[in-house]
Structures are given as C-alpha cells and as structure tokens.
C-alpha cells in the first residue's frame, strides 16, 4: 500500500482525488484530513492510501443489486466507475452490451 500526501487548493485537491478514485487500476483505501465545507481557495492537506488493483487489465465487473424481497440481480458491466455520493448512496456506471441484439431492428 502506498501513502499519498496531496496538498493544495481545496478545489484542485478534490478534483485530483475524484480522478484518482475513478481509475480502474487503483484502489483508494482511505482519505484522511478532508473537511467538507471548505472554500475553493482554502489550502488543505489530504493523506490517502492507494493499492494497485489485483487485476488492472480486467475490464468487466459484476454489479450486484439486492432487492427488498431478497432477490439478487447481477449486471455485468465494462469500464466501471464508482462514486460515493451523499447520504450513503453509491453511483455505479459502466457499459453493457447485448451481443445478440439485431442492429437492423434498433429503434432510432
């Protein structure tokens, strides 16, 4: 695990950390010293811990959704990007293809 110290204006540090989180070949374990509600020009220092992904070349991941009735839905996605939003919400985005779809019948 690598320890990464990032210092600078709050808006620049926040953008850098968001880009770091989006990289599929890195796993950001923890952010420290980050305080919400800072002004964009405030100087801050953030410490985070970064690991290389165990399989950085693997492009596909399975998103698993658990329904209230206990049913689990698995969706294979390519090039997944995850972001933690407010109130415990996690945004997951990626690409999914139906290899059996007929291109001629696609709605425009």
Q: Give 45-72 pLDDT, tens digit per residue.
A: 888 888 887 765 567 788 888 999 999 9
Check whether residue 11 and residue 25 sit in a common domain.
yes
In the prediction, which pLDDT does 28 show? 81
Tell me: pLDDT of 35 over 70: no
Tell me: pLDDT of 104 over 70: no
Q: How far apart are CA 44 and CA 9, in angstroms?
A: 6
Of 75, 80, 64, residue with least CA distance to 22? 80
Check whether residue 40 and residue 68 sit in a common domain.
no
Tell me: pLDDT of 108 over 70: no
Tally the domains of the chain.
2
Domain span at residue 37 reads 1-54
What is the mean predicted confidence (pLDDT) over 95-108? Answer: 70
Task: Give domain status of residue 108, yes or no.
Answer: no
* Secondary element (H or E) of residue 18: helix 10-22
Check whether residue 47 and residue 77 sit in a common domain.
no
- Predicted TM-score of the model (pTM): 0.49
Burial of residue 47 (CB within 10 Å: 0-12, 13-18, 19+) is middle
Check whether residue 66 and residue 87 sit in a common domain.
yes
Mean pLDDT (the chain, rounded)? 80
Check whether residue 48 and residue 64 sit in a common domain.
no
Residue 41 tokens, joined: 């020009």
Tell me: pLDDT of 33 over 70: no
6-30 confidence digits (pLDDT tens): 888 888 888 888 888 777 777 887 6
In the prediction, which pLDDT does 63 show? 86
Task: Give domain status of residue 107, yes or no.
Answer: no
Check whether residue 17 and residue 48 sit in a common domain.
yes
């Amino acid at each position: 695990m690598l320890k990464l110290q990032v210092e600078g204006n709050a808006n620049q540090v926040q953008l850098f950390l968001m880009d770091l989180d989006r990289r599929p070949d890195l796993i950001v374990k923890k952010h420290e010293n980050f305080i919400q509600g800072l002004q964009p020009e405030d100087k801050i220092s953030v410490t985070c811990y970064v690991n290389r992904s165990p399989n950085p070349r693997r492009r596909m991941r399975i998103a698993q959704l658990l329904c209230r009735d206990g049913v689990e839905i698995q969706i294979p996605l390519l090039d997944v990007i995850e972001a933690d939003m407010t109130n415990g919400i996690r945004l997951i985005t990626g690409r999914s293809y139906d290899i059996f779809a007929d291109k001629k019948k696609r709605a425009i």
